[in-house]
Structure 1
Amino acid sequence: MLILVGQGNPGTKYAKNRHNAGFLLLDRIHAAYGFGPWKAKFDSEAAEGAVETATGRQKVLLLKPQTYYNETGLAMSKACAFYKVGAEAVTVLHDEIDLAPGRVRVKRGGGHSGNNGIRSAMAHLGPDIRRVRIGIGHPGDKAMVMPYVLSDFSKADLEWFTPLSDAICKALPFLIGSDDERFQTEVMRLAPAPKHDPKQAGRPGTE
């Protein structure tokens, strides 16, 4: 079982926030691949399904922790314990302020870069989780980071986030099949990151 985890906060108040990019992507994957109904399990909303890859059909669990963003590692650890898998079976999709809007990077291991959700995941499962980092840009001021990520995607954001979501769905079999480089390449081919507009509130961030 491969576990795809979306980072986000539960409830309608946060549903369209930049911080809920992971939840939004899982909803898109759920619809695109005909996963089963969402059920309350592992302190999460969970749905089971399968994705056809180049090497065969892979069972996948979609997991939207309901523990709030900063404590998502607890939900992940419960799912891993149930399926008797470790961090190597977990892939977390999350927003990343240190990447320019629309950029996508796949990373395994390394530090949490100040992301409290990833910090929680590593505390519960260790450093070997795989991360799909979705660039949302940086507001330009450290003091503005929290209100920025807890604000809804703007109309301008949706011009790149919507096609990016579609691209991630189309390239998903490569991610599920552990071909991270091909997944990343396909996503950026299908949905090239937008050129940064200095008039927008955020700045691109770094690589």
Structure 2
Amino acid sequence: MKKYLIVGLGNIGEKYHNTRHNIGFSVLDSLAKKEQITFETKKLGDIARFRYKGRTFILLKPSTFMNLSGKALHYWQKIENIPLENVLVITDDLNLPFGTLRLKAKGSAGGHNGLTNINEVIQTQNYARLRFGIGSEYGKGRQIDYVLGQWDKEEQEILNDRIDKCTKAVTSFALAGLANTMNTFNGK
């Protein structure tokens, strides 16, 4: 049975819950709810598993804080013996308009500390990442407040729909493959 490691990036703790920077956690929480599974606290993160159409999905919410996400990803990839092409990282992206999805096979960290750490730890940029646009509606010097801030009212109204689309992209990644999933979901 093929195994897939789906890593949602975020920060642990109640004060980060439902912030823009934690969209990776929110997507995995939604997927777990849909599959009626719960997360267990394990080494370096919270883990949940489900099987779907002959594939095993291992959902990981690192407990290492965003800037050390690579440690948790690397540990679980090795423990579960998952090839890098079956790893998908879900992250927020300031450079994309709110709610826009962009799946890529590889790429730079684009200034994202979580991706920077993953690239350093696994020593490659060649892994799939699903970027969730959070927009860049903040004033000069307010970037940290913005990414660690709660969604505004307008965003909240369409957030669940966008998260749902993201969960569909995750299952499509494992079932239809990277290229087909990119064609179906990118920019939508």
TM-score, scaled relative to structure 1: 0.82
For the 8 Å contact 2:106–2:125, the answer to whether it is kept is: yes
Please state how far the C-alpha of 1:160 moved relative to its aligned partner.
2.2
| Alignment of structure 1 residues 177-188 onto 2, 5 Å | 177-184=175-182, 186-187=184-185
For the 8 Å contact 2:22–2:92, the answer to whether it is kept is: yes
Q: Which amino acid aligns with 1:168?
A: C
- Please tell me whether residue 34 in structure 1 is matched to residue 36 in structure 2: yes
Tell me, what secondary structure is at the counterpart of 2:16?
Answer: coil
* Structure 1 residue ranges, 4+ long, deviating more than 4 angstroms after superposition: 184-189
- Please tell me whether residue 19 in structure 1 is matched to residue 21 in structure 2: yes
For the pair shown, which has the larger CA radius of gyration, 1 or 2? 1
- Please tell me whether residue 69 in structure 1 is matched to residue 70 in structure 2: no
The match for 2:141 among 140, 143, 164 is 143
Q: Percent identity between the aligned chains?
A: 27
1:45 alignment counterpart: 46
1:205 alignment counterpart: none
78-87 or 3-12, larger mean C-alpha shift: 78-87
CA distance in 2, matches of 1:67, 1:104: 25
1:119 alignment counterpart: 116
Q: Which amino acid aligns with 2:39?
A: W
Tell me, what secondary structure is at the counterpart of 2:6?
Answer: strand
CA deviation map 1:111-136 (0-9, x unaligned): 11110100111111221121000001
1:196 alignment counterpart: none
1:82 alignment counterpart: 79
CA deviation map 1:143-169 (0-9, x unaligned): 211110000111211122111112223
For the 8 Å contact 1:42–1:76, the answer to whether it is kept is: no
1:152 alignment counterpart: 150
Q: Aligned in 2, Cα 1:180/1:87: closer, same or farther, shift over 3 Å?
A: closer
Tell me, what secondary structure is at the counterpart of 1:88?
Answer: helix
CA deviation map 1:58-91 (0-9, x unaligned): 1110000011111110001110110123432210
Q: How many residue pairs end up in the alignment?
A: 185
Q: Which amino acid aligns with 1:156?
A: E
Q: Aligned in 2, Cα 1:187/1:58: closer, same or farther, shift over 3 Å?
A: same
For the 8 Å contact 2:103–2:186, the answer to whether it is kept is: no
Unaligned runs of 5+ in 1: 193-207
Q: Which amino acid aligns with 1:147?
A: D
Tell me, what secondary structure is at the counterpart of 2:131?
Answer: strand
TM-score, scaled relative to structure 2: 0.90
The match for 1:168 among 166, 178, 188 is 166
Q: Aligned in 2, Cα 1:160/1:146: closer, same or farther, shift over 3 Å?
A: same
Q: Aligned in 2, Cα 1:129/1:170: closer, same or farther, shift over 3 Å?
A: closer
1:200 alignment counterpart: none
The match for 2:128 among 110, 127, 130 is 130
For the 8 Å contact 2:66–2:114, the answer to whether it is kept is: yes
Tell me, what secondary structure is at the counterpart of 2:142?
Answer: helix
How well do the aligned residues superpose, as a CA RMSD in angstroms?
1.9
CA distance in 1, matches of 2:168, 2:82: 26
